[in-house]
Amino acid sequence: MPTTQEWNEALNNLLQYDFHVDYIITHDCPFYIKELLHTRTIPCNLNDYTLPHLRNIDEVMDDIEQQVTYKL
């Protein structure tokens, strides 16, 4: 689970490039991909982090995936 500082850095980088990137490297993937793979991750305790704006990691990854465009 990323820390607040890691999330801020990632989101600031995406904003800096208007969500138009070559690729995204992450330890996790959007939830819809997990469903396609028929896998689930162990839930993380978000209370361990100061991320009040996040509902859960899957929703955030889905939101990012919907906004990102990839360079060809």
For residue 61, give both structure tokens: 């990854």
CA 35 vs CA 12, 50, 62: distances in Å: 28, 28, 12
Instruction: Indicate whether 51 pLDDT > 60.
Output: no
Whether this model's pTM surpasses 0.95: no
Of 59 and 16, the one with more pLDDT: 16
pLDDT digit string (tens) for 3-34? 888 888 988 999 999 999 998 888 777 777 77
- Round the average pLDDT of the chain to a whole number and report it: 75
Handedness of CA 31, 33, 36, 40 (dihedral sign): negative
Q: What is the mean pLDDT of residues 38-46?
A: 50
